[in-house]
Structure 1
Amino acid sequence: MSMQQTSRPRIVAYRIAGIIASILGYFIDFIFGLTLIFGNPLGGVGTIIVLLIFIAIGTWLIIYGIKTKRKIIRFKKYVNIISLENETSLENIANACSQSIDFVIKDLEVMIAQKFFTNAYIDRDTNEIVLERKNNSEVSNNIIAKTEVVESKVVTCKNCGASNNITIGTVAECEFCGSVLNS
């Protein structure tokens, strides 16, 4: 495996942060909501304001957790469109997702910045997402191809669900998320 960091740890950490935020948010809203409803009415306006602030924080954490879950679902959908349908046109990706092209561009740019996609960028001139290929694997595949007949197979990435064509008996990285693939 190369020294380059794959996206799998990023996605897992992002998912865990979303789950923790949701659980914490529900817990805060439950505790402080019950305190607000059944608490001592002599606490005064200051107490009520503090309770409402904590309820607002809990609600924000719940919303953050929901948005995190939705972003991961959209990431997996993008990967499936790009890998299975071999689609890189942002307009076609947006149509397949029933989203506006501006939303998809911003969403993909954020995911690229957060390292969900490794070796990817948005080409504004062609309006496509570009996934750079690894030169090392191309060189080693060319050397193998010159010396013997190379057999390859399609392997589905366990992390993002993308289909990758790899040489049998080798270890490779997913073109989309950088996770390790075994043939």
Structure 2
Amino acid sequence: MEKRIKKVSVLMKQILYWAELAVGGFFTLGFVSVTVTYISEGQELGSILIGVFMSILTFLVTRNGFRGSRLISQYKKYFAILAVNGERSLERLASISHVPADKFQKQIEQMIKRGYFGSAYINYDTMSLVLAGDELPQEANRIRQVQNTQRYRTVVCQACGATNKVAEGMIGECEFCGSLLEAAEKDNAE
């Protein structure tokens, strides 16, 4: 039940961030254009200052929406790594995520502060992420079940001739040249 509440909470935050982006962006453009008009028409200083203040305020709302939306995207990526890998060391998680360790730690701290990981915390003695409950083992089992039932086919890239594994019925990307590959029925099953 708590896991479902957390997912809904993260989804609601994501919707709120998108709304901040849209509304804040719209009003920022509006206030900036009104302020520019006031300046060009020689309006009184008070009106210009209100326009500048409102432009800054709506810009900050837009920036918060952008940062929050980006943080939720990172959370989803990190959660999947935690669920599948089981790794908790911040340094190794940063390496797996291809993010500098200090940036990774700051992002995790923000996610914990905003409640994305529930009652998780960072153990600064071991520099590891400590998660409460069993939410990740359950998610890891679900992801592993999907991975174990997925069938793969060996596909030869038409562009470079490299051999790649592609999930059956899916379109993949060549690991060497980036060309799109499709696992057709005529390919050899692996």
TM bracket (short chain): 0.5 to 0.7
Letter in 2 for 1:77: K
Q: 1:90 & 1:26 partners in 2: Cα distance?
A: 35
Q: Structure 1 residues 34-43 or 80-89, which shifts more? A: 34-43
Letter in 1 for 2:122: I
Q: Which residue of 2 aligns with 1:8?
A: 7
Q: 1:102 & 1:66 partners in 2: Cα distance?
A: 21
Q: 2:77 & 2:29 partners in 1: Cα distance?
A: 33
User: With CA pairs under 8 Å and 6+ residues apart, which has the higher RCO, 1 or 2?
Assistant: 1
Q: 1:133 & 1:34 partners in 2: Cα distance?
A: 51
Q: Report how far residue 19 of structure 1 moved.
A: 1.5
Superposition misfits of 4+ residues, deviation over 3 angstroms: 37-40
Q: Structure 1 residues 56-65 or 32-41, which shifts more? A: 32-41
- Consecutive unaligned residues of structure 2, counting only runs of 5 or more, are 135-139, 147-190
1:60 aligns with 2:34: no
Letter in 1 for 2:61: L
Q: Which residue of 1 aligns with 2:167?
A: none
1:131 aligns with 2:124: no
Question: Kindly, what percent of the aligned residue pairs are identical?
Answer: 23
Q: Which has the larger radius of gyration?
A: 2
Q: Deviations over 1:26-52 (max 9, x none)?
A: 221222223233457142222111111
Letter in 2 for 1:95: S
1:122 aligns with 2:122: yes
Q: 1:126 & 1:14 partners in 2: Cα distance?
A: 30
Q: Note the aligned Cα RMSD (angstroms).
A: 2.8
Q: Which residue of 2 aligns with 1:20?
A: 19
Change (3 A) 1:60 1:113: closer
Q: State the TM-score, normalized to the length of structure 2.
A: 0.62
Q: Structure 1 residues 117-126 or 90-99, which shifts more? A: 117-126
Q: Deviations over 1:102-140 (max 9, x none)?
A: 332232233223221134222222221122345xxxxxx
The DSSP-based 3-state class of the residue aligned with 1:9 is helix
Q: 1:124 & 1:42 partners in 2: Cα distance?
A: 57
- Please give the residue correspondences for 1:23-102 in structure 2 after superposition, counting only pairs within 5 Å: 23-39=22-38, 41-102=41-102
Q: 1:109 & 1:5 partners in 2: Cα distance?
A: 22
Q: 1:132 & 1:26 partners in 2: Cα distance?
A: 38
Q: 1:130 & 1:45 partners in 2: Cα distance?
A: 54
Q: 1:127 & 1:114 partners in 2: Cα distance?
A: 20
Q: How many pairs align?
A: 141
